[in-house]
Amino acid sequence: MNRGLLLLPMMSLLLTACASASARKDPWLGRDKIVHFCASGLIAGVATAAAHIQDRNDSETFMIAMGMTLSTGAAKEAYDGYVRNSWSWKDRM
């Protein structure tokens, strides 16, 4: 599958969802965003290394790393939204 075809609908969904973002104080470069970026990089790196150890090809490695990173991020955001009541659309950008 062409990666561009997969990324286009995902980016469209993310960008259109931002129209309903709240106006609460939520800076684009706040500490929370840096933590999200670093955690996502760490998860993607570990998932990529694990896939390479299992002799996966580049396409499978990409999908495994992307799936692990997105599912972990989605679970964290669901926790933030429903348990901590601190949902932020900017965390997904």
Q: What is the pTM of this model?
A: 0.62
Q: Is the pLDDT of residue 43 over 70?
A: yes
| Residue 91 clears pLDDT 80, i.e. is over it | no
Statement: residue 70 has pLDDT above 80: yes
> Looking at the domain assignment, is residue 33 inside a domain?
yes
Q: Is residue 86, in this structure, part of any structural domain at all?
A: yes
What is the rounded average pLDDT of the residues 1-20? Answer: 53
Domain interval for residue 52: 29-92
Mean pLDDT on 17-35: 64
**DSSP symbol at 89:** G
Number of domains forming the structure of the chain: 1
Q: Provide the CA 80 distance to its chain's centre, in angstroms.
A: 14
Q: Is residue 77 part of a domain?
A: yes
21 neighbors 89 (Cβ within 8 angstroms): yes
